[in-house]
């Protein structure tokens, strides 16, 4: 099956009519934090439906952001089109069939670590690849805590780093996909979990850097800095990497205003400022203390209406800045 069902998943069906007027039952295959995956009348095609939910720190916030799903879908489809036109790799996109929906190729999902056969095609790679271009977010927090030194990010040992500094070269990280919380992996464990070859792994990493070069070029045209972002892949026919899921959005990536950055100020133009809201309220501290202690997690509070309005405006305006198109 495409998506192994999780705690966020549930059984649901709805009646639809296909292109020749025959009614079929669409089935909800997976319901995640911000999107749903539905079956279609074609067993090799699925439909992604983006919701207006928003999540941070692996918690779904009990607040809806108007038209957020539409912004994510249209932005991601914009990037997929550019990647295909550049000939970097195949993608899963077939057609954007509604502002908040997209038809995509279906891939087998195997959740058990190391269980994907080495000769299997059309299978999801159970890893997330993060590419960082500036020291921010989780990378900055690890450095600030002393978990890693400057040399980890390509600087000379002992260099004192400031938040937001431009990295000497793209810094690639790989994390888990099917564990309760994302966990960074070294190369050896990433290969064990995915059971892909060294060559396939390196090909995926190379594609991520190439994709980000396009994102960087396009963003720079509109006064934006692409700080970091994540990508996901499948292996298609011939086990060639296929770019899947969504990317280049405010949920998967971090963006700053270039003018402000040049003046020494970091202005977040992504979901990061929602994270910063909860960092400021102390929820992040309480949440991770509970996770560290293995105790019950505190529920995440709803966003104030002012933050909801600000977030909705940001998702709409950033779609226009990222794509150059009217929202």
Q: Indicate if the pLDDT at residue 19 is higher than 70.
A: no
Based on the structure, what is the number of domains in the chain?
A: 1
In a domain, 231, yes or no: yes
What residues make up the domain containing 222?
Answer: 13-323
In a domain, 1, yes or no: no
In a domain, 3, yes or no: no
* Half-sphere exposure for 13 (CA within 13 Å, toward CB): 5
> What confidence tens digit (pLDDT) does each residue in 100-137 have?
999 999 999 999 999 999 999 999 999 999 999 999 99
Whole-angstrom CA distances from 292 to 11, 148, 175, 285, 297 are 33, 19, 19, 11, 10
In a domain, 243, yes or no: yes
Please give the average per-residue pLDDT across 235-243, as a whole number. Answer: 98
Query: Is the sign of the CA dihedral 308, 256, 250, 288 positive or negative?
Result: negative
| Percent above pLDDT 90 for the chain | 87
> What confidence tens digit (pLDDT) does each residue in 50-82 have?
999 999 998 999 999 999 999 999 999 999 999
In a domain, 228, yes or no: yes
In a domain, 33, yes or no: yes
pLDDT of residue 272: 78
In a domain, 6, yes or no: no
> What confidence tens digit (pLDDT) does each residue in 282-292 have?
999 999 999 99
Q: What is the CATH number of the domain that holds 122?
A: 3.30.470.20
In a domain, 7, yes or no: no
């Amino acid at each position: 099956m495409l998506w192994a069902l999780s705690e966020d998943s549930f059984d649901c069906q709805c009646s639809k009519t296909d292109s020749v007027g025959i009614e079929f039952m669409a089935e909800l295959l997976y319901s995640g934090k911000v999107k749903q995956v539905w079956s279609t009348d074609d067993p090799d095609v699925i439909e992604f439906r983006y919701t207006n939910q928003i999540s941070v720190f692996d918690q779904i916030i009990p607040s809806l952001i108007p038209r957020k799903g539409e912004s994510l879908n249209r932005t991601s489809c914009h990037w997929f089109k550019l990647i295909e036109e550049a000939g970097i790799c195949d993608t899963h996109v077939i057609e954007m069939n509604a502002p908040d929906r997209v038809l995509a190729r279906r891939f087998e999902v195997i959740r058990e670590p190391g269980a994907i056969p080495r000769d299997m095609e059309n299978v999801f790679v159970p890893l997330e690849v993060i590419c960082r271009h500036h020291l921010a977010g989780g990378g900055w927090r690890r450095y600030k805590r002393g978990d890693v030194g400057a040399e980890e990010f390509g600087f000379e040992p002992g260099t004192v780093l400031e938040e937001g500094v431009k990295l000497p070269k793209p810094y690639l990280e790989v994390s888990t996909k099917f564990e309760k919380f994302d966990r960074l992996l070294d190369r050896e464990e990433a290969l064990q979990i995915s059971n892909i070859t060294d060559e396939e792994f390196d090909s995926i990493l190379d594609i991520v850097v190439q994709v980000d070069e396009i994102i960087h070029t396009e963003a720079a045209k509109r006064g934006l800095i692409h700080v970091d972002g994540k990508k996901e892949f499948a292996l298609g026919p011939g086990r060639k990497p296929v770019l899947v899921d969504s990317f280049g959005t405010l949920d998967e990536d971090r963006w700053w205003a270039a003018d402000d950055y040049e003046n020494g100020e970091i202005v977040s133009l992504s979901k990061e400022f929602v994270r910063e809201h909860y960092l400021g309220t102390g929820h992040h501290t309480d949440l991770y203390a509970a996770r560290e202690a293995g105790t019950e997690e505190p529920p995440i509070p709803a966003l104030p209406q002012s933050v909801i309005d600000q977030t909705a405006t940001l998702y709409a305006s950033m779609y226009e800045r990222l794509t150059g198109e009217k929202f």
